[in-house]
Amino acid sequence: MAEPLLALHGLRKRFGGLAVTDDVSLDVMPGEIHAIIGPNGAGKTTLINEISGVLPVDAGRILFAGQDITRLPLHRRARRGLARSFQITSIIPDFTALENAALAVQAGDGTSFRFFRPAGSERRLNEAALAALDSVGLAHRAATPAGAMSHGEKRQLELAIALATQPRLLLLDEPLAGAGPEETERLVSLLRGLRGRYTIVLVEHDMQAVFALADRISVLVYGRLIATGGPDAIRHNTEVRAAYLGEDDLPLAGAPC
């Protein structure tokens, strides 16, 4: 069996008396889409924040490509190929869509301590940025200021920014949050197009999308992982069913994809 790209070993995090991450261990294999689901307040975003380096963990280890990154700050993890999107859209509003993506390309293109040439006319950056925009269907909006885009477009741009860094691992925190039905459809088919090319950790509330996209699913309840497995195994897991009792959004057998 191949080495996992990302391995979490016994992660723990407390906010006061509340254990938000409670002994979480998890492997993410290269090339898979690994979804993390759970009821509200299960600690999904916290887990993404711990993996990406926004929040420090109290205990446990995070291995990325076999190396311990537990103590590395956010920007150092990004340099190693960990890209993330945010639940609340995180773009640079006064930049155009193209400049947002170009900044991401620039991050992986040597030093940014370059003072003379106008970055806006660097063809190499712009071409790669445009390709990233194109891959999410935003090429025609390249010159639009990001702050003036629609919510759905901002979600697409957020994805383009993450892709433009050419990451080894994509951490997507609710990429569909707040998107309308049409936008959701577009984003899901976009994510499906990434399958096999990227390793993705996906946190998402839209269960239809999760079960359509994920190779494996981990279920988080009150900071604890209660199950990990393929979509079918999770769908029929009694503990998972119990955790979602009273919520209608866990699709039962044969959910439409």
Partner 1 sequence: MRELGRILGRELPALLLLGGLAAAPFIGFGEGYMLTLLARMMILAMAAVSLSFIVAGAGLVSLGHAATLGFGAYAVVILDDLQVVDALFVLPAAILAAAGFALVTGAVAIRTSGVNFIMITLAFGQMAFFTASSLSGYGGDDGYTLYARTEVNGARLLDDRLVFHFVCLGALVLTWLLCRMLLASRFGRVLRAVRGNPMRAQALGFSPYPYRLTAYVIAGALGGAAGFLFANATEFVAPAYISWQRSGELLFMVILGGLSGLHGALLGAIGFVLLEEWLSHQWEHWRIAFGVLLILAVLFLPGGLSGIPAQLGRMLRRG
* Dihedral (CA of 245, 248, 250, 251) sign: positive
Please give the structure tokens belonging to residue 93: 């509003």
For partner 1, the closer of residues 117 and 123 by Cβ is 117
Contacts with 5 (C-beta within 8 Å, 6 or more apart), sequence order: 28, 29, 30, 64, 65, 168, 169, 199
Site track for partner 1 across 171-210, x = CB under 8 A = ----------------------------------------
Q: How far is the CB of 123 from partner 1 (least distance, A)?
A: 14
Paired residues of 207 in beta bridges: none
Out of 21, 46, 52, 199, name the contact with partner 1 by CB under 8 A.
52
Specify the stretch interacting with partner 1 by CB under 8 A; choose among 29-37, 85-93, 190-198, 224-232: 85-93
C-alpha span between 248 and 246 (Å, rounded) = 6
Please give the structure tokens belonging to residue 230: 């393929």
DSSP 198: B
Nearest to 160 by CA among 234, 221, 104, 92: 104
Q: Residues in the chain, how many?
A: 257
Does 95 help bind partner 1 (rule: CB under 8 A)? Answer: yes
Out of 16, 17, 66, 118, name the contact with partner 1 by CB under 8 A.
118
Does 114 help bind partner 1 (rule: CB under 8 A)? Answer: yes
- Binding residues for partner 1, rule: CB under 8 A, are 52, 54, 73-76, 78-79, 83-84, 86, 90-95, 99, 102-104, 106-108, 112-120, 122, 161, 165
